[in-house]
Amino acid sequence: MFLASVWEWVLPIGLGLVVGIMITMRKKYDFSQIVFLEPEEFRLNMRKGQLIDVRREDNFNHRRINGSRSFPNRTVFSSLSRLRRDQAIFLYDENCKNSVKRIAKKLIKKGFKPVYVLKNGLEKWPFPIKEDTK
């Protein structure tokens, strides 16, 4: 009888402690390493790192920023070995949707930093771009 009443309060306390410890031990990431740049600043600095286009392959082939490499959305993570950890990453997509922000966060979690994202994406890029004439 006494043992049953002890378990009624020991078990919830024990579970609470375990969950609390797990939450505090969880790795925290510094997402301040994701920097959103205006086109002018992006253009001035993009040659100092790896320029990555995360749009679909056909969009990349049609028009892109000269010097960029194509890693369509999810393929960035299957191709991490092709990215250098000692250089900054400059990401852009068509209009800076949530997908590019999500990719930037995942790259930070994988140890790539800093990550720079083009504000408003290629849609508002005021500089010359490489276009496929086919």
Residue 12 lies in a domain: no
Confidence at residue 119, expressed as pLDDT on a 0 to 100 scale: 94
Confidence at residue 24, expressed as pLDDT on a 0 to 100 scale: 73
Residue 17 lies in a domain: no
48 vs 2 pLDDT, higher one: 48
User: What's the token pair of residue 124?
Assistant: 């508002």
Distance CA 93, CA 97 (A): 8
Confidence at residue 134, expressed as pLDDT on a 0 to 100 scale: 59
Confidence at residue 4, expressed as pLDDT on a 0 to 100 scale: 66
Confidence at residue 3, expressed as pLDDT on a 0 to 100 scale: 59
118: enclosing H helix or E strand: strand 115-118
- Domain range spanning residue 74? 31-131
Radius of gyration of the chain (CA): 22
Residue 15 lies in a domain: no
63 with 26: CB under 8 angstroms?
no
Residue 2 lies in a domain: no
**For the chain, what is the domain count?**
1
State the pTM of this model: 0.77
Query: Does residue 87 surpass a pLDDT of 90?
Result: yes
103 with 97: CB under 8 angstroms?
no
Query: Does residue 62 surpass a pLDDT of 70?
Result: yes
Residue 49 lies in a domain: yes
* Mean pLDDT computed over 77-91: 91
- The per-residue pLDDT for range 92-120, each reduced to its tens digit, is 999 888 889 999 999 998 999 899 999 99
Residue 10 lies in a domain: no
Residue 65 lies in a domain: yes
Residue 122 lies in a domain: yes
CATH classification at residue 52: 3.40.250.10
- The per-residue pLDDT for range 5-36, each reduced to its tens digit, is 766 877 788 888 888 877 777 777 778 889 99
